[in-house]
Structure 1
Amino acid sequence: MDRIALGVEYLGSNYCGWQYQHHDLSVQQVLEQALARVADRPIRVHCAGRTDAGVHATGQVVHFETPVERPDRAWTLGVNANLPDDVAVRWARPVDASFHARFSAVARHYRYLILRRPVRSALWHQRALWTHWPLSVAPMREAAAALVGRHDFTSFRALACQAKSPVRTLEYLDLIERGALIELNVGADGFLHHMVRNLVGVLLAIGRGERPVSWAAELLALRDRARGGVTAPAHGLYLVRVDYPEGFGLPGDPDLPSDPKALTSDY
């Protein structure tokens, strides 16, 4: 059996999430169907991170096993020919049998996009969170700094989160202004269910002036999700990169493309 790793990107707007569901269409389902056509037999894939409904990815990584031999082009161009337009395989690599898309990962990186302008955007619909309220990024950055490091993130995970431990190491939490677009970039050794969206919800409240900068650190210390902020919508979130030990030889994924010249702020 050969083990193959794939880099996958998708817009999550039309899917119930990554994971296969009986009641609705998932990204996993359409990818497995396309792979099965190329392999001429059923294929089951394992992913680095199960994204929720509406969440996008530019750097999802999956692996699967197959007894059939195909050139790398078949696992990219051939599979893409059988995928819908909003899902695409970016690269394919044979990997050692010890590789696992989820358990071999050493870090994951997400980006949350916020469009800050008085009127909504047609082009960024379902691709960024639109807010017509002015946001002050400086206090958001100050609050974010208190969250970096190894902490108990109970206040920032979903009540239904099944992780055994709420402790994670946040390597960075940065905000970049690109005209009307605000990029929130975050990387960690792992994330809890809804953790990024809950972090964004808290920082948005601080940016709007509804809460003080100290609120983020206070929530961290409380370790109580019921006292936390609103969960930000899924459609602004992107899984942009998954890191693995260099020995596996997987390609790095570029950052999400954006054109700051095309965006202007009226604030």
Structure 2
Amino acid sequence: MPRYALKIEYDGGPFAGWQAQADQPSVQGALEAALARLDAGFAAGARVAAAGRTDAGVHATGQVAHADLEKDWDPFRLSEALNWHLKPAPVAVLAAAQVPQDFHARFSATGRRYTFRLISRRAPVTHERGRVWQVLQPLDLEAIRAGAAHLVGLHDFTTFRSTMCQAKSPVKSLDEIRIEALEVPHGMEYRFHLSARSFLHNQVRSIVGTLERVGAGAWPPARVAEALAARSRAACGPVCPPQGLYLTEAVYPSDPFGD
């Protein structure tokens, strides 16, 4: 059975997350339903595996999944057929590629990259509603960057993970937090770019929620280091909502899509 990698983009708003659930819509469920229209194995209940199990409301511009199909497909024709059958769900297959049998979307990945979008302005967002987190107060970019610097590197991130996190260890290496600021009409957009081999449950949202408090002046930057050292969920700042979070890339030793 040939194995295919799929690069997927989706709006997470209508879904209860990536993972298939019996009684709620999921991105995995939408993709598998489309595959079932094309492949007998998926019609019989085969499953796809993904690089990251995004939560309810979280978006993706570079999710990667793999699927074992019963016949050979030209990758372009496969992506076109899947996009036809995915309508009208806000899910798109950006690219497909045949990959070796030992390729695994989750376990072969050597890194993940997320972006969180935060808009600061008084007027409500309109076009970006459901795709960003909006706060009303102005933020201090340099203070945010100073707070973020305490989190880069290998740390015990107990403070910044959900109490429901199933990871065996809270120790993770956060390779990068890069924050950029872009002008929007009557406000600013802040984009938080985070890279790591893997992330804990709610780690990105916990970090961004804490750094927003730094930018708003409620926390000094040094308090981020104190919260990290506390290794206690009680020391974390507010967890920000999911709609500003995007899985932008899964990194592999060799890019399965060749781009």
TM-score (norm: length of structure 2):
0.94
CA deviations over 1:61-83 (Å, ceiling 9, x no partner): 00011121222123211000011
Amino acid in the other structure paired with 1:11: D
**2:196, 2:148 → 1: CA distance?**
14
Q: Is the 8 A contact 2:41 2:70 kept in 1?
A: no
**Alignment-derived partner of residue 153 in structure 2:** 149
> Is the contact between residue 117 and residue 132 of structure 1 (CA under 8 Å) also seen in structure 2?
yes
Verify the 8 A CA contact 1:156 1:198 in the aligned structure 2.
Answer: yes
3-state DSSP class of the match of 1:235? helix
Cα deviations by residue, 1:56-101 (Å, 9 ceiling, x for unpaired): 0000000011121222123211000011341000000111111100
Identity among equivalent pairs (%): 42
Tell me whether 1:82 sits opposite 2:85 in the alignment: yes
Question: Is 1:176 aligned to 2:183, yes or no?
Answer: no
Give the AA of the match of 1:19. Q
Q: Is the 8 A contact 2:52 2:63 kept in 1?
A: yes
Of 69, 79, 87, which residue of structure 2 is paired with 1:66? Answer: 69
Instruction: Note the C-alpha offset of 1:40.
Output: 4.2
Q: Within the alignment, does 1:250 sit opposite 2:257 as a pair?
A: yes
Distance in 2 between the 1:238 and 1:105 partners? 17
Alignment of 1:42-57 (within 5 A): 42=42, 43-57=46-60
Moved over 6 A (4+): none
SS, match of residue 232 in structure 1: coil
1:185-264 alignment, distance < 5 Å: 185-246=193-254, 249-252=256-259
Contact 1:45 1:64 in 2 (8 A): yes
1:72·1:93 contact (CA, 8 Å) conserved in 2? yes
Unaligned runs of 5+ in 2: none
Mapped contact 1:13–1:55 kept (Cα < 8 A)? yes
Matching residue's letter, 1:73:
F
Counterpart amino acid of residue 21 in structure 1: Q
Contact map agreement 2:40 2:70 (CA 8 A) in 1:
no
Alignment partner, residue 13 of structure 2? 13
Is contact 1:8–1:60 with CA below 8 Å preserved after alignment?
yes
Verify the 8 A CA contact 2:95 2:257 in the aligned structure 1.
Answer: no
Separation in 1 of the partners of 2:258 and 2:179? 26
Report the secondary structure of 1:14's partner residue.
Answer: coil
Are the aligned partners of 1:4 and 1:94 in contact in 2 as well (CA < 8 Å)?
yes
2:107 paired with 1:100:
no
Cross-structure match for 1:140: 144
**Per the alignment, in what secondary structure is the counterpart of residue 82 of structure 1?**
helix
Letter in 2 for 1:68: K
The answer as to 2:138 corresponding to 1:131 is no
- Residue 107 of structure 1 aligns to which amino acid in structure 2? G
Q: Distance in 2 between matches of 1:86 and 1:249?
A: 24
- TM-score normalised per structure 1: 0.91
> Post-superposition shift, 1:250?
3.1
For the Cα contact (< 8 Å) 1:155–1:226, is it kept in 2?
yes
Which runs of 5 or more structure 1 residues have no equivalent in the other structure?
Answer: 253-267
Counterpart residue type for residue 240 of structure 1: T
Equivalenced residue count is 251
Q: CA shift at 1:249, angstroms?
A: 3.6
1:193 Cα deviation after fit? 0.2
In 2: Cα distance, 1:58 partner to 1:121 partner: 21
